Amino acid sequence: MSANIQKNNQQLLKPQDYNTQFSPTWCPGCGNFGIQAALKQALFALNLEPHNILMVWGIGCSGNTGNFYNVYGIHGLHGRALPVASAAKLVNPKLTVIAEGGDGDGYGIGLGHFIHTSRRNIDITYIVHNNLIYGLTAGQASPTSEKNFKSKSTPCGVIERPINPLALALSAEATFVARGFAGDITHLKDLIIAGIRHRGFALIDILQPCVTFNKQNTGEFFREKVYRLDEVNCYDIMDKEMAWHYANEWGPKIPIGIFYKEKRLTYADELPQVAGVDLTAPPEAVDVSKSLEEFR
């Protein structure tokens, strides 16, 4: 999925090289516009050529992004972006692999994949559009909806306590855990750059206002509450206990930034079958006649 992917290496990369002929179809004011702007700025800042990028999407409003990036892409099944992205990275480690999904996609039906990809430390970046609601299917409560939140599926209010994706990632041994805000594009761009540069599994959970169905967690709601962790005195992104403390802060103040970062071997580093092996190269001729003799 891409138009004009192959580029002359002698040409200079331009921001518009990541664009397609299609325009976004999100609701006016949707937080997805901020995420798209930050991601494209990050790709350009990293000087990543479109034909060296693979993006994988699940289902949801975030999945519509598949039409708007001039890169290789796979629009997968609901909640299945991570296993597809993991397989692609293992087969072709030269690719920059980015998975995108929503809170319903990644923390609902895809929650098992999220936990296991975190602990395996697959070298991919996972960008989650977290609007605390199911947007594409018209406003049902999602796994991250706040307790007592009223929606089409919970007219009397949500009974369950919401999932905490940052705490889950930390407990599942993710090596890069961050949160951004779609209304702060410059800060979000820097988080995405850091996540892509990180060697290992990088979660970037993004507070993404849904202007149509979530009238509670609005852009104004987040602007009044968010603050940057890099402005916290003596914050140490390598201190997991400190990361855990701030990951559980949600109320009058909501922290954004890099919560935790750890240097650790990736899944591929410890998998001898793929470590240092180019699985995209044409296979060598192999004589299988002896093996076939066993089945005669």
Kindly state the average pLDDT of the residues 28-49. Answer: 96
15-293 CATH, one of 3.30.1380.20, 3.30.930.10, 2.160.10.10, 3.40.50.970: 3.40.50.970
Give pLDDT tens digits for 47-103: 999 999 999 999 889 988 888 999 999 998 889 999 999 999 999 999 999 999 999
Residue 52, pLDDT score: 96
Those residues whose C-beta lies under 8 Å from the C-beta of residue 30, and which sit 6 or more positions away, are 61, 208, 209, 210, 211, 212
Q: Residue 294 class from Cβ within 10 Å (0-12 exposed, 13-18 middle, 19+ buried)? A: exposed
**Is the pLDDT at 123 greater than 80, yes or no?**
yes
Q: What is the pLDDT of residues 236-281, one digit of tens each?
A: 999 999 999 999 999 999 999 999 999 999 999 999 888 777 788 7
Mean pLDDT, residues 100-120 taken together: 96
Q: What is the pLDDT of residue 11?
A: 59
**271-289: per-residue pLDDT in tens?**
988 877 778 877 777 788 8
Mean pLDDT of 139-163: 95
Q: Identify the residue with better confidence: 5 or 120.
A: 120
Listed by start position, the domains of the chain span: 15-293
Determine whether 295 is exposed, middle or buried from the number of CB atoms within 10 Å of its CB (0-12, 13-18, 19+).
exposed
Kindly report, residue by residue over 181-237, the tens digit of the pLDDT: 999 999 999 999 999 999 999 999 999 999 999 999 999 999 999 999 999 999 999
Q: Which residue type is seen at 240? A: K
Backbone angles phi, psi at 145, to 5 degrees: -60, 140
d(CA 151, CA 166): 24
Q: Distance (Å, rounded) from C-alpha 287 to C-alpha 296?
A: 16
Is residue 9's pLDDT more than 80? no
Q: What DSSP character marks residue 150?
A: -
Residue with the two structure tokens 């921001």: 15
